[in-house]
Amino acid sequence: MTIEQIEKLIPHRKPMRLVDEIVSMNETEIVCRKTFSEDEFFVQGHFPNHPIVPGVIQCECCLQAGAILLAQIAEMADDAVPVATRLDNVKFKNMVRPGDTVEIHAKLDDQVSNAFFLTGKMLLGGKVTARLNFACTVANPG
């Protein structure tokens, strides 16, 4: 899936689009990739001379992967956007730095009405950097 196709599914744009490509996807799971550059705004001051990707950005990567999955499986109107409503059990295991390419996984665990419950994780070299459970709902921004 190209960046243009990704941007048709989610409202995120540079500099906040944090998914570069879709590796695989089925009805309940998606695997994406992201390569972090030295130019990313969030590493400019986090931390000078020792830049690392903030944990909140790692979470956002998982949320965006989940949003792409939901856009593919949920009957969303063209102007609907997935909105995070909860993050639970967030754990950070390893650091991610500029130059790293990560795999982003999101798995749909359950759906209750318009609430979707997912599990996300980010891997670097096969090792978990972040893991979280999260919930989203589909909202109309208008």
pLDDT digits (tens, 9 = 90+) for 30-85: 999 999 999 999 998 999 899 999 999 999 999 999 999 998 887 666 667 889 99
Domain boundaries, the chain: 3-139
Helix (H), strand (E) at residue 13: none
111 φ, ψ to 5°? -140, 130
Domain formed by 3-139, architecture: Roll (3.10)
Question: Average pLDDT over the chain, rounded to whole?
Answer: 93
Active site residue 50: no
